[in-house]
Amino acid sequence: MNATETQQAIDARDTVIIYSGGMDSYTLLREELSKGRLHSSLSFNYGQRHLRELNCVARVCSQFSLPFSFIDLRAVAAVAMHRSVLTVTQRDIPVGHYAADNMKETVVPNRNMIMLSIAIAYAVSHQLKRVVFGAHAGDHTIYPDCRPEFVQTMRVLAQQANWHPIELEAPYLHFTKGEILLQGMTFGVEREDYKDTWTCYKGDSTHACGVCGSCTERLEAFASVGWTDPIPYLPKGK
Amino acid sequence: MNATETQQAIDARDTVIIYSGGMDSYTLLREELSKGRLHSSLSFNYGQRHLRELNCVARVCSQFSLPFSFIDLRAVAAVAMHRSVLTVTQRDIPVGHYAADNMKETVVPNRNMIMLSIAIAYAVSHQLKRVVFGAHAGDHTIYPDCRPEFVQTMRVLAQQANWHPIELEAPYLHFTKGEILLQGMTFGVEREDYKDTWTCYKGDSTHACGVCGSCTERLEAFASVGWTDPIPYLPKGK
């Protein structure tokens, strides 16, 4: 690349991603990197039970030389985002499939609106054009702020809220987790790449539990494409 | 009141207010108190130049025995809400009327969407019904996130984003600041009550500047209703 081409490549980086460290946003990060549009990554700590997924963020962003920021929302969460099992360690994480009613206990009040509003502010501050995030079809039944109608209203708001309009995109909104893996394959993501992703809601520092709603859906997704998940799982019944 | 009536009065407190300490949200706070609907108050520190207005919040809420919370967004602002003269002390606050183009320098990226999304989370967490805030007509030309179209979309979003729908109201959206003072009079707010409000963008700990956009509009509002503003101002030209 000559100097002009280098500058054009930098100018093309018009997108910030909300990156949780999980498999969905990891795949989206790889897709945006493959298009040359990714400017940087934003991650949030709202008092999740463990920071294993944030370690994945740091490792992956370093691997791809992508600037990344962590935003600590624990003070906000303490005042305004409580009553959720995800941030209350005294209660048990429900096990089983996401569709089950008890999974509603994992909902953090207004989480996506808060994260998206900060990501939009970030995009305005850095004069970017786009915010992308990895909401997918499996989330709809349990998380109201992953439903298509929420995302559509948020897209309108992102155009109105600042003099600098921001495009909001959730390209996997109608994909299952299995379809997200298939999508990743089309731009070269391999099975082993997912070793640096973390989905489990439980707290073991080295092994996923294999039984929480998040693990259940992840394992079904890998099985659906004929892959073995490359991360370590606790033996069944532990 | 007997025990049943006391419980009914508590149950009627279904509203949280975003309270800046300025004259608009102060009037709204008094209106909601007069209706018996106010549960609590939320204020935000996103790195404004001075905390004088937050002192007003503490004094007023204590006076009315209203629970209040401060949420510190300075860490969020440092990453995602910069490029604004309100949070950058090295630059001068522009003087003159809000309608002037230079007032756009006072816009903090996506401020209202962030504050409202946290207030909605707070309402869900506390099982309240309503969030109210004091956006008014004078803000429209300069703050995109005070325009009626923004508020309308945000109202839709507040219904969609959680299983527990929240009503969002900005009752002064089409009022001038003078009309807000007239509105306050109808439920008993007196001139002297405004001594515990602070509007000025500049930093003197005891006196408002009298020349910034915010002071200019405030002084016009008091003049329009034939009142002298009860807060102290610096002598002209200081």
**Tell me: the pLDDT tens digits for B90-114?**
445 555 555 445 555 567 899 999 9
Give how far B231 is from chain A: nearest CA, Å: 32
| Beta pairing class for B130-132 and B38-45 | unpaired
- The pLDDT mean for chain B works out to 87
Q: Which of A55-64, B62-71, B90-99, B210-219 bottoms out in mean pLDDT, i.e. has the lowest?
A: B90-99
Calpha distance B237→B126 (Å, rounded) = 48
Residue A138 has pLDDT above 90, yes or no: no
Higher pLDDT, A216 or B88: A216
Helical residues (DSSP H) of chain A, grouped into ranges: 3-11, 23-35, 52-63, 74-80, 111-125, 148-160, 177-186, 213-224
Calpha distance A30→A221 (Å, rounded) = 18
Higher pLDDT, A52 or B96: A52
Question: Which residues make Cβ contacts (< 8 Å) with residue A106, sequence separation at least 6?
Answer: A84, A85, A86, A93, A94, A142, A201, A213
pLDDT digits (tens, 9 = 90+) for B12-43: 899 999 999 999 999 999 999 999 999 999 99
For residue B103, the model assigns a pLDDT of 53
**Residue B125 touches chain A, beta carbons under 8 Å:** yes
B chain contacts of residue A117, beta-carbon cutoff 8 Å = 110, 113-114, 116-117
A chain contacts of residue B80, beta-carbon cutoff 8 Å = 42, 69, 71, 118-119, 121-122, 125
**DSSP designation for B104:** G
Contact B19, B41 (CB under 8 A): yes
SS3 assignment, position B102: helix
SS3 assignment, position B64: coil
Q: Would you state the structure tokens that stand for residue A90, as one six-digit string?
A: 């005294």
Give how far B178 is from chain A: nearest CA, Å: 26
Contact B104, B73 (CB under 8 A): no
For residue A106, the model assigns a pLDDT of 62
Strands (E), chain B: 15-18, 38-45, 68-72, 130-132, 167-169
For residue B137, the model assigns a pLDDT of 86
Q: Terminal CA-to-CA distance of chain B, rounded, Å?
A: 54
Task: Express as a percent the part of chain A with pLDDT over 90.
Answer: 63
Half-sphere exposure of A18 toward its Cβ, with a 13 Å CA cutoff?
25
For residue A155, the model assigns a pLDDT of 96
Q: How confident is the model at residue A28 (pLDDT cuts 50, 70, 90)?
A: very high
Higher pLDDT, B2 or A176: A176
Residue B229 has pLDDT above 70, yes or no: yes
Give how far A15 is from chain B: nearest CA, Å: 14
Q: Which residues pair with A167 in a beta bridge?
A: A130
Q: Does domain B3-224 bear CATH number 3.40.50.620? A: yes
**Residue B89 touches chain A, beta carbons under 8 Å:** no
Residue B84 has pLDDT above 80, yes or no: no
Higher pLDDT, B5 or B67: B67
For residue B90, the model assigns a pLDDT of 45
Please identify, in words, the CATH class of the domain defined by A3-198: alpha beta
For residue B230, the model assigns a pLDDT of 96
Calpha distance A214→A199 (Å, rounded) = 6
Averaged over A163-190, what is the pLDDT? 96
- Chain-chain contact of A110 with B124 (C-beta, under 8 angstroms): yes
- Chain-chain contact of B109 with A118 (C-beta, under 8 angstroms): no
**Residue B145 touches chain A, beta carbons under 8 Å:** yes
Q: What is the length of chain A?
A: 238
For residue A101, the model assigns a pLDDT of 52
For residue B237, the model assigns a pLDDT of 57
| Beta pairing class for B38-45 and B68-72 | parallel
Helix (H) or strand (E) holding B112: helix B111-125
Calpha distance A162→B229 (Å, rounded) = 32
Q: Which of B42, B113, B156 sits opposite A117 (nearest CB)?
A: B113
Of A16-20, A87-91, B44-48, highest mean pLDDT: A16-20
pTM: 0.89
- The pLDDT mean for chain A works out to 87
Q: Which of A47-56, A153-162, A212-221, B173-182 bottoms out in mean pLDDT, i.e. has the lowest?
A: A47-56
For residue A50, the model assigns a pLDDT of 66
Question: Which residues make Cβ contacts (< 8 Å) with residue A13, sequence separation at least 6?
Answer: A36, A37, A38, A39
Contact B55, B31 (CB under 8 A): no
**DSSP designation for A1:** -
Q: Which residues pair with A168 in a beta bridge?
A: A131
Residue A6 has pLDDT above 90, yes or no: no
Candidates B79, B150, B151: best to mutate against A (most CBs of A within 10 A) is B79
Of A138-152, B1-15, B223-237, highest mean pLDDT: B223-237
Averaged over B139-161, what is the pLDDT? 88
For residue A88, the model assigns a pLDDT of 44
For residue B205, the model assigns a pLDDT of 77
Question: Which residues make Cβ contacts (< 8 Å) with residue B27, sequence separation at least 6?
Answer: B134, B172, B180, B181, B183, B184, B189
Q: Which of B111, B121, B145 sits opposite A109 (nearest CB)?
A: B121
